Amino acid sequence: MHRLALLLSLLTAPLLACGGAPADHGQFSALTANAGEASDLCEHEIPQDACVKCNPELVARFKAVKDWCGPHHVPESQCFACHPDLSFEPLPQPPPDADLANVSREQALAGLEGVAAPGKVTVIDFWAAWCVPCRKTAGDLNLRLQHVPELAVRKVEVRDWDDPLATRYLAGTPTLPLLVVFDAKGAEVGRISGHKPDELDALLAKAAAR
Ligand SMILES: [Zn+2]
Ligand SMILES: [Zn+2]
């Protein structure tokens, strides 16, 4: 590969990995994901209320927000051909008493130290509605909340890569989600980019041992 082409591919790779796409492809909107938790899966393995094969009248809404895969004639956020790891299966749920909370963008921008739960190992989860690995990671975190005592999870929703949250915290992050793990004393233990449950367990063990 030509050096310039290699450089360009390295520069654009993070965007592609995170839901950006070539010209004839679209971008993930939240239209499919938002229907996901409230709707049963249809015969196409997609949340019934969002599936364009079951609800052709929705096509225009997906196209209006550029959530459309030209080559496959379905929303980008429903295209199993382009995104084989896409899944809308129900996620494990957190226990009712889980220490799980959404963090406002103002609070997150004020600094992550203030977000970590005092006296607990805390995972701060930067996620986006259009991010496939983020959904899988949310399921991982819910499972950990069921089984790991004294674990806190704080969710920070990122709109896109121009979001001030991304500018501040995601520079150099190759792909979402970004998990930032703090120990019970409020010190950062490490970071994970992408869906990596084994690395998460290793980092949680390290945080608990400190
Ligand atoms: Zn369907
Ligand atoms: Zn496609």
**What's the pLDDT tens digit per position in 104-143?**
999 999 999 899 999 999 999 999 988 889 999 999 999 9
Same domain, 203 and 160: yes
Same domain, 132 and 196: yes
Specify if 11 maps to a domain: yes
- What is the reported pLDDT for 91? 86
Specify if 35 maps to a domain: yes
Q: Would the pLDDT of 170 be above 90? A: yes
Same domain, 129 and 185: yes
Same domain, 106 and 73: no
Report the number of distinct structural domains present in the chain: 2
Ligand minimally distant from the alpha carbon of residue 56? 1
- What is the reported pLDDT for 21? 42
Same domain, 129 and 184: yes
Per-residue DSSP letter, 89? S
Assign 30 a pLDDT band (cuts: 50, 70, 90). Answer: confident
Summarize the confidence of residues 206-210 as an average pLDDT. 94
Give the highest mean pLDDT range of 6-10, 129-133, 147-151, 193-197: 193-197
Question: Ligand 1 centroid vs 48 CA: distance in angstroms?
Answer: 6
CA distance 177 to 156: 10
Full-prediction pTM beyond 0.85?
Answer: no
Cβ–Cβ < 8 Å for 36, 47: yes
* Maximum CA extent, the chain: 55
Mean pLDDT computed over every residue of the chain? 87
- Long-range CB pairs of 55-62 (<8 Å, 24+ gap) are 58/31, 61/31, 62/26, 62/29, 62/31
Same domain, 52 and 137: no
Ligand minimally distant from the alpha carbon of residue 42? 1
Question: Ligand 1 centroid vs 41 CA: distance in angstroms?
Answer: 8
Which domain-ending residue is among 29, 46, 78? 78
Cβ–Cβ < 8 Å for 55, 61: no
The rounded percent of the chain whose pLDDT value lies above 90 is 67
Same domain, 46 and 118: no
Question: Ligand 1 centroid vs 17 CA: distance in angstroms?
Answer: 26
As residues whose CB is below 5 A from the ion ligand 1, the structure lists: 42, 44, 51, 53-54
Question: Ligand 1 centroid vs 86 CA: distance in angstroms?
Answer: 15
CA distance 34 to 26: 18
Ligand minimally distant from the alpha carbon of residue 76? 2
CA distance 61 to 31: 9
The CATH number of whichever domain residue 187 belongs to comes to: 3.40.30.10
Same domain, 72 and 110: no
Full domain range(s) for residue 27: 3-78
- Predicted confidence (pLDDT) per residue in 52-106, tens digit: 999 999 999 999 999 999 999 999 999 999 988 888 888 899 999 999 999 999 9
Q: Where is pLDDT greater, at 104 or 23?
A: 104
Ligand minimally distant from the alpha carbon of residue 82? 2
CA distance 129 to 90: 15
Which domain-ending residue is among 45, 78, 111? 78
Same domain, 118 and 198: yes
Nearest Cα neighbor of 60 from 75, 41, 81 is 75
Q: Would the pLDDT of 33 be above 90? A: no
Same domain, 47 and 111: no
Question: Ligand 1 centroid vs 134 CA: distance in angstroms?
Answer: 23
Summarize the confidence of residues 147-175 as an average pLDDT. 92
